[in-house]
Structure 1
Amino acid sequence: MQRTSVIQEEWWDLRAEATWGNASAGQDVVALRAENDQLRRALAGRAVIDQARGMVMVLTPCRRGAARDLLVDVSRQCNVKLPEAAAALVAAWEGKPLPVRMQRALRRALRRFHAENQRCNSRPPGGSSR
């Protein structure tokens, strides 16, 4: 019995030393928590981007990639991150006014999109129709 209690005490001391005495273990926990928070923010941003992309797909009949490109174009023109631009667009859909700068950027992006779409759908010059 004496020997068992010594082993248990030694095990507890080793465990305590590994948990409290090791500075890198504490730093690992802090780093993992920071990474977890970052991933949560990224997922939340992703959801609003997907929602805004769906709105663009409904309003401007286009595919997912084109809708995302349009959102990226607006975010670049306004010098904001993509989740912020997407959140502003979703908020506008829900009744909050879209900032004037973002309205202008959205108009420019839509004009560019429609101009490119027109070129893709037009016939090549000099082509024969059989």
Structure 2
Amino acid sequence: MSWTQLGYSFAGVIALALIARWLRLGESRIASVAQARETAEQMLAGFVAHDAVIGTDGGAGLVAGNGTIAVLKRHGARIAARRLIAPLALSQGIEGVRIETGERLFGSVLLFGVTDAEVRAIEASAGRPRDVVVTLH
């Protein structure tokens, strides 16, 4: 192998890394409340989202739905979701609120920069029915 081949190989790897960064491949940040609601509705069957809160780092989110709560977190290059029922087991720390999901493989979820009061508000709004339409025949 010559130095020229080594240089071209190195340049090719750098070019591929730049293209992946430009295309934002592998980025799984939860960027907005609207994205969190949409992701929860897509990933959990029958889930209708109405309120949400996300961590300031975009690593996790909490979405209130029709009687349940969706917990979202980054899992590699994707976002993983689980459905929980209130009351949530949580602990307040300096960095934010940690929610225990009760699932060993999913683990706990840290909502960075979120307060206990914000989580309790989401938890309370999950129990309230929204936009209930009753039809009489």
- The TM-score range, normalised by the shorter chain, is 0.3 to 0.5
Q: Which structure's residues are more often helix, by fraction? A: 1
TM-score by length of 1: 0.35
| Larger Rg over CA atoms | 1
Q: Which has the higher contact order (CA 8 A, sep 6+)?
A: 2
TM-score by length of 2: 0.34
Q: Which structure's residues are more often strand, by fraction? A: 2
